Amino acid sequence: SANQMGGEVWRQGERLAQLQAQIKRDGFVSLAPSELCCDARAVAALRRGALRLTALGWPATMLLLFDEAWLLLAHASRLMLALTGCSPSFDTLAWCVDP
């Protein structure tokens, strides 16, 4: 599975080229859950956490207190480096987009 491969199936040539074209065209990329490095349960926990924090009046950025958020950010950093040649500064915020 993608998680067993470190979730970096986007490193494969054709997929990487697709994502590079998407970021140039749109300014962002969309990844399938299987392409994320984090366990799907960890991503789901972050989602639930963002919803719960905002329901209690706290900013979703409080998610950055948890390791799962930083693991996801480490993966995003590798992705950004591969796509743009630049690494993010980790001056990071989180938002909750209510589904």
Report d(CA 57, CA 64) in Å as an integer. 16
Percent of the chain with pLDDT over 90: 28
Helix (H) or strand (E) holding 55: helix 40-55
Q: Is residue 67 within 8 Å of residue 43, measured between CB atoms?
A: no
Q: pLDDT by residue (tens digit) across 19-51?
A: 999 999 999 988 877 776 667 788 888 889 999
CA–CA gap between residue 50 and residue 63 (Å, rounded): 7
Q: How far apart are CA 69 and CA 25, in angstroms?
A: 27
Per-residue pLDDT at 3: 40
Token pair, residue 31, equals 């990844």
Is residue 6 predicted with pLDDT exceeding 70?
Answer: no
CA distance linking residue 43 with residue 27, whole number of Å: 23
- Given a cut of 50, whether residue 2 has pLDDT beyond it is no
pTM of the model: 0.68
Residue 51 CA to residue 58 CA, distance in Å, equals 10
User: Which is higher by pLDDT, 56 or 33?
Assistant: 56
Question: Which of 44-56 are b and which e, b meaning 16 or more Cβ less than 10 Å from the residue's Cβ?
Answer: ebbeebbeebbee
* pLDDT for position 35: 77
The predicted pLDDT at position 54 comes to: 95
